[in-house]
Amino acid sequence: MRKSVAALMVLLLSSACASGSPCDGVDRTITSARKENLAPQIAQQLGVARVDVLQSFRSGDWSIIYVATNQSDDVFLFYSRDPLISRYITMWSGAASTNEEQNIRDWTLKNAPDIPQNLASCFAWHVTKRA
């Protein structure tokens, strides 16, 4: 029995140490077709002629869409529902240094109420670690 418990503890510790980024479990894929569908809707929301959809981060019903407006800094837009049928809740743009991860996570949780914790953590990690 002691060997089983010890083996289980080693396995759990190994799993914890081998875990990847805070973005594990966040869907970061986006198809070209989805980008093309989102671009005009997001451009209209931002009041610009066009946008290029660069990246997407999804968890549950929530999405963070990273776009280039070609008129200002690239921007992350936060949606609690599908961006094709809803308006963004908040936006973030700019640079973050590697030591600001917790501050960015706190900002995200404050400005995007009810965002999934894993999505807020992924966003903060992504913008501070540039990964």
Beta bridge partners of 63: 58, 79
Mean pLDDT (the chain, rounded): 88
Bigger pLDDT: 131 vs 30: 30
Q: Which residue has the higher pLDDT, 15 or 71?
A: 71
Contacts of 33 (CB under 8 A, 6+ apart): none
Distance CA 12, CA 4 (A): 12
Provide mean pLDDT across the span 113-122. 97
Smallest CA-to-CA distance from 55 within 70, 65, 69, 40 is with 65
Domain boundaries, the chain: 22-129
**Residues 50-68 pLDDT 10s:** 999 999 999 999 999 999 9
pLDDT at 7 over 60: no
- The stretch 20-33 carries a mean pLDDT of 95
> Is 70 exceeded by the pLDDT of residue 38?
yes
